[in-house]
Structure 1
């Protein structure tokens, strides 16, 4: 039963987070880019240079839909395409300085937004939240390692 209770709590938590912390209207926008572009930039930041195939697989985007996303990010100067030195058929997508900067700015905006949303908590509640988030992070990282 504890696993079922944990699953029930998680299912209950996700919509609350979306409603209270991740409302799209409150999220800082990147000019000319949508949420999919942002996810793709974060993937490249997390994993380094990646191929279109890896993007398609990791973000569950159909291969034909990856190319326009990449093209937009290249056109805006957020990423660059680099041919593989050993196999010219392979193209690596990597962040530019502009891409790194926009991610850093968006992350800082998220941080300020969340700080504002959590301002009503007292010190003890904040400490409990931090401990809970650390535990949740450890669990999700463990899940990620067990899948890979």
Structure 2
């Protein structure tokens, strides 16, 4: 693709991200009534997708410094959301994973977020909703191809 077209695609994608963020996700609503800070939520949602990993891997993926990760993980362990265990492959390393309590909590958060999204898009006409559904599905297929 030539440079101009690529720049157009990246500008449009960036604008879409901003619009989705501003129109559909009110971050204060997401973290409201939460005893867990946003940084801790990021860790929980990250672990939801990768199941079990090292603390340093989470820190690297979420761009959180290792010294900042320790209190986050400690609080999540104390709250009963994360379990830390010795890596069976290398006893010098520790891994972390979500607990059943965390899975239940995240499922409740997911339902809350879906309800909020549903409420926000309910003002759209049926044709717009059908178009939105189609284009989201197509965009998801394309975005999942990105390495």
With the length of structure 1 as denominator, give the TM-score of the two structures.
Answer: 0.90
In structure 1, list runs of 5 or more residues that go unmatched.
Answer: none
CA apart distance, 1:85: 2.0
1:127 matches 2:130: yes
Query: Match of 2:36?
Result: 33
CA apart distance, 1:140: 2.1
Query: Match of 2:109?
Result: 106
CA apart distance, 1:38: 1.0
Work out the CA distance in 2 between the residues paired with 1:135 and 1:3.
19
Report the 3-state secondary structure (helix = DSSP H, G, I; strand = E; otherwise coil) of the residue aligned with 2:97. Answer: strand
Residue from 61, 66, 72 that aligns with 1:58: 61
In structure 2, list runs of 5 or more residues that go unmatched.
Answer: none
Report the 3-state secondary structure (helix = DSSP H, G, I; strand = E; otherwise coil) of the residue aligned with 1:50. Answer: strand
How well do the aligned residues superpose, as a CA RMSD in angstroms?
A: 1.5
1:87 matches 2:90: yes
> Is residue 28–residue 110 contact of structure 1 (8 Å, CA) maintained in 2?
no
CA apart distance, 1:51: 0.4
1:11-62 deviation per Cα after TM superposition (whole angstroms, max 9, x unaligned): 2222222221122222254632111111111111111111011101111111
Work out the CA distance in 2 between the residues paired with 1:35 and 1:28.
7
1:53-77 deviation per Cα after TM superposition (whole angstroms, max 9, x unaligned): 1101111111111111101100100
Work out the CA distance in 1 between the residues paired with 2:48 and 2:108.
14
Kindly indicate whether structure 1 or structure 2 has the higher relative contact order, using CA contacts under 8 Å at least 6 residues apart: 1
Query: Match of 1:141?
Result: 144
Work out the CA distance in 2 between the residues paired with 1:42 and 1:11.
23
